[in-house]
Structures are given as C-alpha cells and as structure tokens.
Structure 1
C-alpha cells in the first residue's frame, strides 16, 4: 500500500512542477501567388522572377513560458519559443525565436538574457500589421528587413511611467573574427528604444548600432526608426520613417538587386574592396491605414524607398514604391481569415515589378 502511495506522489510531482508553464502559439499559413525576387520559384536566364503558386508558412510559432514568485515583488521569468513551419519546409530548430531567462520586479521592469528581439521587431512594426511569407511582397517586409532577433543578448525593459517607457539591448560579438584591416572585429550590437502610448496614440523611436562596421564587408553601421500613429475606436493609422547606413550593398532594400548594382560598379571600374568599405545610406517611409467594421478590417499600406546614397553620391533610380491592400476577417477571437495583394515598382532600369497575392488562415492558442 505504501509503495502505491509513493508511486502516486511521484507521478504527481511533474504536474506540480509544471503548474506555472503556459503553452501558447500561432499557426499561420496560406496560399500565395508570388512573382518576386525573394521567391523560391525559379528565375529566368537574366535572374528575373517568374510567377507561380506556393503554399507558405506565415511565421507560425510554438512557445512555453513561465515564472516563479521569489518574494518581495521579485520573480524569475523564462520563455522558450520556436519557429514552426506548417508548409512542410525544413524546421529551423528549437528555441529559434525569443528564448530567455530573467528577472522581473515591481517598479523596476525586467532584465533578460538569451536570444532576444531587437526593439523594432518586438515593440514596433505598427506600419506592417499583415501576414505573409518571406517570399511575398504582400507586406512591408523590405521596410522591416532588419527587424530580427539577437543572439548572446541582454535586454532591459523599463516599467511604464505616465505612458513613457524605454528598453536597452546589448548583443555580444562572441566570434571576434578577423576583419578587413587584419584586426579582430567587435560586432557588438547596441539598441535603444523609447516609447509613449496614451489613449490610443503612440510614438516610438529606435536607434541601433553595429560595432566596428567599417571592418566588415557589406555590413550595417547604424539604423534609426520612428513610428507614430493612432489605434483606437476602430481606427488604425501608422506612420514610419527609417534611415539605415552601412558599408557595401548589405543594407540595400533588395539583396538580389543590390548584387546587380554591386556588379555594375565593378564593371565601371570600382574594385570590390572599395565597394565593401564605402558607405551606403538608404531612407524609407511607410504609411498604413485601416478601419474595423464588424468582423472586417481592411488595410491599405504604402512604402517608399528613396534613391540610395553611395559613397556620397546618389544611386539614380535605385528606390521603390510599394502598395499593399489587405483584408482581415475575424471568424472568432482566436481565428482569422486574411487576404492581401502587394505590388512593388522598382525604379532600377531592367528590374521587374514584383507582385503577390495571398489568402490564408491564422489561429492562436
């Protein structure tokens, strides 16, 4: 009898230990017709995109998170979140999204370490509310191309005072590889974010810097992003502006077209070594408006990339204009049907326009 009681007690221990664990996630995917440079579909002999049908994942994820009360207003917090691909493509592994351990306290905020989102990725992107794959231009993926997660990172998030808050992130360069000048690099990443939110109005600013960028070919140097708008009373309005500086064409709007511009400079007599150590500056703005009536929310987004500046001179016809029209239908509190059409017009001679249509389903749990 005692053995049975002991066995029952031991069996109950894992459930008790797991009592504070929350399992959550989103399954998001749909049909897309894409004619884009980033599509996995084949290109023609000149590298131009060819249109076709795709069944794509729209960044599904599965997560586990929890906390433990340590007393005196202090608690331990943790999270393990992973990318899930519902279209059958290769899994990207366990803990590939925000995964961390940390501490949170009443009145002083929280500090975490692990793999963590930069400020634009976690706290901004109001100008890009849609769902789409990395192959699509059915969302503002070019405007948000640097929104990402940082390995080997520490992040502090402040509490909110009268609508104001801030965050600071530091990502360590553990590789310290040999750079262009023969010395060790220090590609540490520093990101500071400021926010104000009140009565539906919001304003957010982010600054990011990548260590000794001039010592790394095709690298980003610094990045400013501003977003502001209003989200209340069924009205959704968001404005965004950003400026990115880097070396070489690593920070250009589109990597495939950036490679072509890079080759054109080489053909014109500029060496790759000079290109890799010359500054590239890009500027973009984005606008999104939406209105909810009943279960329907239509959105219209516009993004503009201005002609880039390379080594102090304008790269003529290097900008773009993007338009996205989308519709979200809330089937329930946790399930949505979403459809969108996106179009990008490139000013670069010989560059094809890009187009995407998407129709899919989103479910949260």
Structure 2
C-alpha cells in the first residue's frame, strides 16, 4: 500500500528537554508540503553538534526548542515529494543538508561563499518554511533540528536542503558526508586552500579533525601534525595522513610553543577542530608570522576569541568555515563520487554500527572519546519505501 499523501507512523529518538537522554518514541510524519520532500532515512551519523545541542551549556539554551528530533548527518531514499518539486522523485537516493543551496540568492551566485540563508531563521528554530514541523508525537509538534532531523525513520526537508546522489552509493557510508567529513575535508581544501609542501597542524582528532588531516594530505602538505590529548586517536590520524602526533599534556610549555620549536617558527596552516576558544587561540598562535593561516572549524557559542592584534598585523590570517566551504547541493554528490572512486575515505571514520534504540550509547561513546563516528541504522539501505518502483 502506498504511503504517498498519507501520514506515516514510525520511530524516532525524541529529545524532550535539554540535558535529558533521548527517548525512542512512536511519531507521526506528515506528507510534504510545497517544495518539500519526505525521505526514508536509512542511516545517520552521530555528530558532536547533536550532543552539544542537547547537553551543552552555551549561550541561549533557553531559546532552544523542545521537544526535538536531532540528527543532521543522514542519507536515505525519497518516499514522496510535495507540489512544485521538480528535481526529486520517489526512489532517489539522497542526502539531507543542514545548509541549503537555493541557487538563486546573492550568496549562492557568488563563488566566495557557500552560506545560503534561505529559510535560515526558520530552520535554526526547528521549523520549515511555513513555520511548522512535519513531525509530531503524542499530539504535539516535535521540532526538526536545523530543518533536518535524521534521528527519525522518516523526515521532511525543503527541496533546497537535499541533494540527489548516485544510486550505487552505500547510504551507511556516505551519510557521513552530510556534515563531519565534508566539513573537515573542505576546511583544508576549500577554506584553508592548503598549498603543496606546506606544514599543517590539526587541533582535535575527532571526525572533523581527521577529515582535515585527510584534506591536508590530498592538498600535498609535506608535514601534518595532529594535536590531541587522547593518544588513542593517533593511530587513526596516521592512517589518514598525519606524519606525527603530539599530546599537549606531555609538555610543560604551551603547545603553540612546542609546535613553533618543532617547525622552526610555526606552521603554515592550523585547523582548530574542537570548538574551544582556548584551543582556537593556541592554533592561531602556532602559525608562522607573515603568512600563517588559522582556520576555525569547531563550533561553539560559549566563548569569545581573544588574539594578539600584533600577530594579526604581522601577516597571519584567521578564517572561519561552515560545512567546509562546500556549496551543499552541487558539491556533496561530487564528494560521493570521490568516495566511490577511492579518492576519499569514509569507512575508516566508522568505529561503531548501532541501531536507533542504541542512540544514547552512541552519545556516550562520542562524549568519552571512544568513537570517531557511530552510524545508526534506521532501515535497510536497499529497501525502497512503499509506493516506489
């Protein structure tokens, strides 16, 4: 029996309030409205941003909407499309995108940025373009995390926040391109524009940092130094391209001074992939004067960054990046192609494969530093939604 045009009942991990564990609930997912697509989510990664939103203590916690379905690093299959949708059909394999690309605004038309802002204010508050969510539970609206919500077996997204990918792509792998791997990889290649034979330092060797290491290697850096207080991550970093790794806890002097001594004055490029203002300052300070570039990749809304103005005046550059600088709709399919053609690694990032009812375990593994990426299976990636051919 076709589900097209019908409310779908399915399972989701619902965050009922800040600071409390997720609860697996029966939810209802309404049909897509104009310029919306309903997607059967097959796989989703668990990102630190999901954990931070639920458990973090940053500014503006009281403004975060609950109840909420988190998740923004997923892949699935189109179940149905709403009026006006022309680029997607039932059965298409897709990756939902927390960063839209409308293709029409000033930002989309500029090669200088990937930061489309269409529907931005709405999705940041957990709703779609019309100001409502398509997910409900126990008779009340459940908000959609940055307009996506991949911790749900079905979700509805705007058609500008979705990209079609090749049909032979394994969804349980390429879901990671919805956020973490794309962000770190692009931070090196797109935002930092790492040059051949340069010296790089990557602060934080979680999924984003490891992807930045991989990006530095792809760019031809001759020396890539991984920095992390968890030495268990060093082997994985080496496998992805790090030439050496250092633990700040092993030194009495600040890590930026250690790096300056190791490199004869500082690194050419530093990538902060933690989301901590103190680490951001250390990364900036670790760059060489005259041309050093520091790229801030880690997300936080807790602190202000304090840097030495004289160091900035002497030629250093500090940049921010969002989703690695990729224009989401057009670039993610290319990254999928790179993976399928063995030019980009994804399997190495996956340390745990879990089911939806193990979602809180995935959060615990992430917080304790015991996982790089846990991938949650929500359905068989080869199974098509009812009503598709």
Larger Rg: 1
Indicate the structure with greater helix content.
2
Indicate the structure with greater strand content.
1
Flag the structure with more relative contact order, 1 or 2, with Cα contacts below 8 A and sequence separation at least 6. 2
TM-score of the pair, normalised by structure 2 = 0.27
